């Protein structure tokens, strides 16, 4: 803390105990001549957190933390990220192993119930998806009300919330009761809602799911089949999309998951919490980045730029441009998901014999950016969104559906976090603030106003 700031704050100084002392699990805070002890908690991966739950009652002070970069909102046992080492694990299992050996439905079970399912558990879980894949038939009419130009993320959030109008039992937040059915219904039907939204936007008749198809195959069938011919389900396409869903399934306390937990903390129902998560995910700084990356790559391609102009613009704060798909609040090393998706890009495009100029532009952009001191000093690496759009484009998914695909993938993570909030003694999320508005002043009658 610099001297000027210190003097303006009076005698506010913080002494941090030496690492050896942290094991005594307290942090010492000296404030206005008094000394306070704050407990330090340690997670299973040795992360340390200073518990400030009693800070205001002890000191009359709160903390401020722009963007919550240093603030833990909860304890969670679902996903672990080590941003410095580029580590991502779902319930302790490395994302690289899950990407290589698991499936989206199996990972959904793992995230929500904390263990890999037995073959019987997985069979029953998968069957529940089939039994709950149809929307309430009356919901179909709502799609008629949306204009063809409606963004599918708007449709998704509204139709997820609308579901509880047709199934009033979903209004309960009791995770001990019918939670498993609610969770399965949400994961299964988010796929159906997304497919119906796409079909409506193209003026196509909706295609119902087929009971013989598994999760991802059924989604592709509902997206791309036509009444006179079923979509040809190529194994490499189904596997690639399943991998995209799996890699997006959870990511600890990101913006949308924190939103789901915030809404859940008021004891709102699962569908309302998930609909709020969809809205938070939509932003171009978050899940909307995959669509923004494709638009950026296409802009570079159309302009004939080799990427250098765009990189210079992204470094210039006044340009209003960012290198979309780059940077991350937590990863200060490569996003492990980006590495997996980049490898899958090459494999899928080769198998499908797709030669997408945007892939080579993306690779050149990554190579160039990672040589630029601006990106290196700020530890900005490609994140999950940088290459995912290239694969989705190769699979024939329209760019406006990219963030919807992210939402379908993230649904199990949102549900697992919702369940954790309901099962833990969570207080309603209600942050404090430092007020900076006008101090006390009288009401002025309108005739006296200037
Ligand atoms: C996701 O949180 C999660 O886990 C999210 C996610 C998930 O799975 O849920 O991983 C999914 O949202 C991935 C991120 C997708 N968004 C983008 O790709 C958009 C582009 N990236 C940036 O907007 C940014 O990197 C964020 C939003 C991802 C992170 O923002 P932070 O942590 O608030 O970082 P910052 O804005 O404070 O950046 C620090 C510096 C700044 O420069 P200085 O003020 O230090 O000079 O880095 C610069 C920023 O201007 N910077 C960038 C940049 N990202 C950061 N400069 C140019 N291009 C970028 N992409």
Cα of 214 vs centre of ligand 1, distance in Å, is 36
Going by alpha carbons, the residue nearest to atom 21 of ligand 1 is: 327
Q: Which atom of ligand 1 is nearest to the CA of 317?
A: 50
Residues enclosing ligand 1, CB less than 6 A?
67, 251, 254, 285-287, 289, 314, 322-330, 378, 380, 383-385
- Span from the CA of 331 to the centroid of ligand 1 (angstroms): 10
Nearest residue CA, atom 50 of ligand 1? 317
* Count of CB atoms situated within 10 Å of the CB of 445: 7
Which of 242, 250, 335, 385 is flagged as catalytic?
A: 385
DSSP notation for 163-200? HHHH-GGGG---TTSSHHHHHHHHHHHHHHHHHHHHHH
Pocket test for ligand 1, best of 68, 107, 320, 328 (most atoms within 8 A of CB): 328
- Is 248 marked active-site? no
Nearest residue CA, atom 14 of ligand 1?
286
Which ligand 1 atom minimizes the distance to the CA of 248? 8
Q: What is the DSSP string of 370-408?
A: TTSHHHHHTT--B-HHHHHHHHHHHTT--GGGHHHHHHH
Ligand 1 nearest-atom number relative to CA 326: 60
Distance CA 330, CA 432 (A): 24
Give every CB contact of residue 271 below 8 A, 6+ residues apart in sequence: 160, 161, 163, 164, 170, 182, 186
- Is residue 173 within 8 Å of 422, Cβ to Cβ? yes
pLDDT at position 95 is: 98
**Structure tokens given for 183:** 């969770």
- Which mutation among 81, 86, 327 tests ligand 1's pocket best, with the greatest number of atoms within 8 A of CB? 327
Residue among 250, 251, 328, 335 flagged as catalytic? 328
Strand partners, 101: none
Query: Cβ neighbours of residue 270 under 8 Å, at least 6 residues apart?
Result: 170, 173, 179, 182, 183, 186, 264, 415, 418
Task: Please state, in angstroms and rounded to a whole number, the distance separating the CA atoms of residues 174 and 339.
Answer: 39
pLDDT of 173 reads 74
Ligand 1: centre distance to CA 221 (Å)? 35
> How many Cα neighbours within 13 Å face the side chain of 408?
25
Ligand 1 atom 1, closest CA: 286
- Please state, as a whole number, how many other Cβ atoms lie within 10 Å of the Cβ of residue 154: 14
Closest residue to atom 34 of ligand 1, CA basis = 329
pLDDT at res. 24: 62
Q: Produce one character per residue of 362-385: b if its CB has 16 or more CB atoms within 10 Å, e if not.
A: bbebbebbeebeebeeeebbbbbb
What is the chain's pLDDT, residue by residue, as a tens digit (450 residues)?
344 444 433 343 434 344 443 446 899 999 999 999 999 999 999 999 999 999 999 999 999 999 999 999 999 999 999 999 999 999 999 999 999 999 999 999 999 999 999 999 999 999 999 999 999 999 999 999 999 999 999 999 999 999 989 888 877 777 677 899 999 999 999 999 999 999 999 999 999 999 999 999 999 999 999 999 999 999 999 999 999 999 999 999 999 999 999 999 999 999 999 999 999 999 999 999 999 999 999 999 999 988 899 999 999 999 999 999 999 999 999 999 999 999 999 999 999 999 999 999 999 999 999 999 999 999 999 999 999 999 999 999 999 999 999 999 999 999 999 999 999 988 999 999 999 999 999 999 999 999
C-beta separation of 391 from 345 below 8 A: yes
Query: Looking at residue 68, what DSSP letter applies?
Result: G
> Is 51 considered catalytic here?
no
- Tell how far the Cα of 89 is from the centroid of ligand 1, in angstroms: 21
Q: How far is CA 319 from CA 293, 312, 315, 324, 379, in A?
A: 17, 9, 8, 14, 20
> For residue 293, how far is its CA from the centre of ligand 1 (angstroms)?
13
Assign 303 to helix, strand or coil.
Answer: helix
Neighbouring-strand partners of residue 326: 382
pLDDT reported for residue 20: 42
Query: What letter would DSSP give residue 229?
Result: B
Protein residue with least CA distance to atom 51, ligand 1 = 327
Residues listed for the chain: 450
Question: For residues 126 and 184, is the Cβ–Cβ distance under 8 A?
Answer: no
Residue 130 to residue 218: CA distance in whole angstroms = 9
- Cα–Cα distances (Å) from 196 to 31, 184, 208, 372, 426, in that order, read 59, 18, 9, 44, 36
Rounded to the nearest whole angstrom, what is the distance from the C-alpha of residue 65 to the centroid of ligand 1? Answer: 17
Q: What is the pLDDT of residue 11?
A: 40
Give CA–CA dist 251/256, Å, rounded. 10
Q: What is the DSSP letter of 15?
A: E
Q: What are phi and psi of 220, to 5 degrees?
A: -65, -40
């Amino acid at each position: 803390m610099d001297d000027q700031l210190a003097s303006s704050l009076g005698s506010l100084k913080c002494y941090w105990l030496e690492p050896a002392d942290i094991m005594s699990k307290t942090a010492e805070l000296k404030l206005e001549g008094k000394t306070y002890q704050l407990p330090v908690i340690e997670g299973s991966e040795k992360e340390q957190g200073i518990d400030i739950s009693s800070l205001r009652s002890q000191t009359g002070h709160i903390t401020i933390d722009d963007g919550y970069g240093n603030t833990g909102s909860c304890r969670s046992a679902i996903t672990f990220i080590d941003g410095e080492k580029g580590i991502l694990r779902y319930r302790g299992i490395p994302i690289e192993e899950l990407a290589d050996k698991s499936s989206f439905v199996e990972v959904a079970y793992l995230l929500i119930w904390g263990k890999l399912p037995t073959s019987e558990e997985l069979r029953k879980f998968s069957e529940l998806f089939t039994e709950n894949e149809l929307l309430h038939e009356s919901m179909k009419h709502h799609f008629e009300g949306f204009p063809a130009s409606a963004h599918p993320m708007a449709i998704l959030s509204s139709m997820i919330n609308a579901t509880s109008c047709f199934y009033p039992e979903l209004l309960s937040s009791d995770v001990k009761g019918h939670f498993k059915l609610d969770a399965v219904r949400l994961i299964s039907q988010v796929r159906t809602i997304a497919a119906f939204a796409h079909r409506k936007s193209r003026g196509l008749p909706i295609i119902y799911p087929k009971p013989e198809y598994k999760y991802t195959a059924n989604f592709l069938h509902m997206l791309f089949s036509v009444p006179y011919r079923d979509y040809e389900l190529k194994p490499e396409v189904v596997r690639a999309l399943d991998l995209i869903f799996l890699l997006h399934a959870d990511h600890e306390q990101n913006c949308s998951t924190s939103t789901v937990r915030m809404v859940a903390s008021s004891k709102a129902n699962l569908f309302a919490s998930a609909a709020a998560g969809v809205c938070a995910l939509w932003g171009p700084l978050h899940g909307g980045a995959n669509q923004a990356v494709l638009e950026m790559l296409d802009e570079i391609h159309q302009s004939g730029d080799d990427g250098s102009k765009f990189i210079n613009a992204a470094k210039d704060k006044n340009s209003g441009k960012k290198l979309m798909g780059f940077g991350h609040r937590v990863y200060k090393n490569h996003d492990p998901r980006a590495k997996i998706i980049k490898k899958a890009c090459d494999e899928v495009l080769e198998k499908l014999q797709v030669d997408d100029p945007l892939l080579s532009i993306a690779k050149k952009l990554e190579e160039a950016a990672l040589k630029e001191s601006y990106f290196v000093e700020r530890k900005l690496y490609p994140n999950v969104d940088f290459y995912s759009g290239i694969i989705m484009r190769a699979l024939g998914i329209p760019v406006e559906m990219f963030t919807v695909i992210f939402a379908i993938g993230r649904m199990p993570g949102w549900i697992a976090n919702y369940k954790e909030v309901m099962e833990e003694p969570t207080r309603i999320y209600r942050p404090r603030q430092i007020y900076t508005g006008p101090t006390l002043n009288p009401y002025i009658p309108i005739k006296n106003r200037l």
